[in-house]
Chains A and B, each alone.
Chain A
Amino acid sequence: EAQVTQNPRYLITVTGKKLTVTCSQNMNHEYMSWYRQDPGLGLRQIYYSMNVEVTDKGDVPEGYKVSRKEKRNFPLILESPSPNQTSLYFCASILRVKGAEQYFGPGTRLTVT
């Protein structure tokens, strides 16, 4: 079954404690992306990756890092989380064809206290 998986699904942490949210897809998609969803703001892109070892900033990259060492995995790293990073995070993947469907993971709800 074609899918995007994220772990963990829920995470409560404290300010400054480094964390990683994993994302994996089994569709051999080149393009992967991270979004955060906040009420009234829709989904905003954090980082994206066109292919292995190719990553770039989205609209709200501050406070986040990513890596793309393998095609299937695209982890999101928060080196020093802050309360304003409390949000719902989604990973997505897509075939590298303009206008192709994006597949979203189930989401990770992060709370930073």
Chain B
Amino acid sequence: GENVEQHPSTLSVQEGDSAVIKCTYSDSASNYFPWYKQELGKGPQLIIDIRSNVGEKKDQRIAVTLNKTAKHFSLHITETQPEDSAVYFCAASIPEYGNKLVFGAGTILRVKS
């Protein structure tokens, strides 16, 4: 089945710097790759997603890139702010199981002011 690996497990950056989180997946049939942000005491919330027919997608300070050949995708956060501090999860979708998502282990992002 699908396996998603996520790195790094923790990331500390200075406010204003960029942060990059990387994920690799194993099932070449996966075609949907969302990123979730989880704040303390809350459920994961979708922040951006990308589908396999697109190589890059941006939404203000957040961008996601996808390399289907290498089977990896990355989250880029520019001009980080303290409120970006949270746990971030990547996921991959297995089409044959409808909307099943397989998640990476998560990255704790700390933005130091």
Contacts and interface: CB of A to CB of B under 8 A. Distances in A.
Interface of A: 4, 31, 33, 35, 40-45, 48, 50, 58-59, 90, 92, 94, 96-102, 104-107
Contacts of A33: 99-100
Given A99-B32, A102-B46, A42 B89 contact: yes
Interface centre among B93, B99, B103, B106 (most CB of A within 10 A): B99
A99 B45 CA distance: 15
A58 B89 CA distance: 19
Contacts of A94: 99
Contacts of B34: 101-102
8 contacts: A33-B99, A42-B103, A42-B104, A44-B103, A45-B100, A90-B44, A99-B31, A102-B99
A59 B51 CA distance: 24
A41 B3 CA distance: 12
Contacts of A43: 44, 89, 101, 103
B45 A98 contact: no
Interface in B36-76: 36, 41-46, 49, 51
